[in-house]
Amino acid sequence: MNSVLLSIILVPIVEIYLFIKIGAKIGAFSTILLIFITAITGIIYARYEGLNTLRSAYSQIIKQETPAYEIISGAAIAFAALLLIIPGFATDIVGFLIIFPITRKLILGKISTKIKKKEPDNNNFIDGEFEDIENDDERKI
């Protein structure tokens, strides 16, 4: 089964389960208030980290270097902000993990090693000779 389809099915189920469990412990109003507080706090912190990433990318550009990590980090921060806007506790936890620089670096490091392992080895090639064959040549297959 495709992982995207599986996450589309499982994430709402986990979120509903957490809403029920946490709502039973702290009450419905407190649960709703907590969802709004985490969303607002996450968005403010995502903005702060996004601006720090832009500053870092700008300094890399001034040094005539490619800001590769900053670009990937900026995309991760945007994804984390999206997760924080979506109401739910599981998405908030994942969003906060991506927002914080220490855990973001760990997560991006693990993802990059998985991507590097999946990349095919481009050094495999076959050396050979060729000969152009004219249209009216007898050797043409």
**For residue 35, what are the contacts with CB-CB under 8 A and spacing of at least 6?**
87, 88, 89, 92
Q: Is the pLDDT of residue 135 over 70?
A: no
Q: Is the pLDDT of residue 114 over 80?
A: no
Domain ranges in the chain? 3-118
Residue 126 is predicted with a pLDDT of 72
Q: Look over the chain and give the mean of its residue pLDDT values, rounded to a whole number.
A: 85
Residue 123 is predicted with a pLDDT of 66
Give the DSSP per-residue string, 56-115.
Answer: HHHHHHHTT---HHHHHHHHHHHHHHHHHHSS-HHHHHHHHHHHSHHHHHHHHHHHHHHH
For residues 97 and 79, the answer to whether their CB atoms sit within 8 Å is: no
Q: Is the pLDDT of residue 136 over 80?
A: no
Q: Which of 24-38, 40-54, 59-73, 113-127 has the lowest mean pLDDT?
A: 113-127
pLDDT digits (tens, 9 = 90+) for 17-34: 999 999 999 999 999 999
Residue 138 is predicted with a pLDDT of 59
What is the rounded CA–CA span in Å between residue 141 and residue 126? 22
Residue 120 is predicted with a pLDDT of 62
pLDDT digits (tens, 9 = 90+) for 101-110: 899 889 888 8
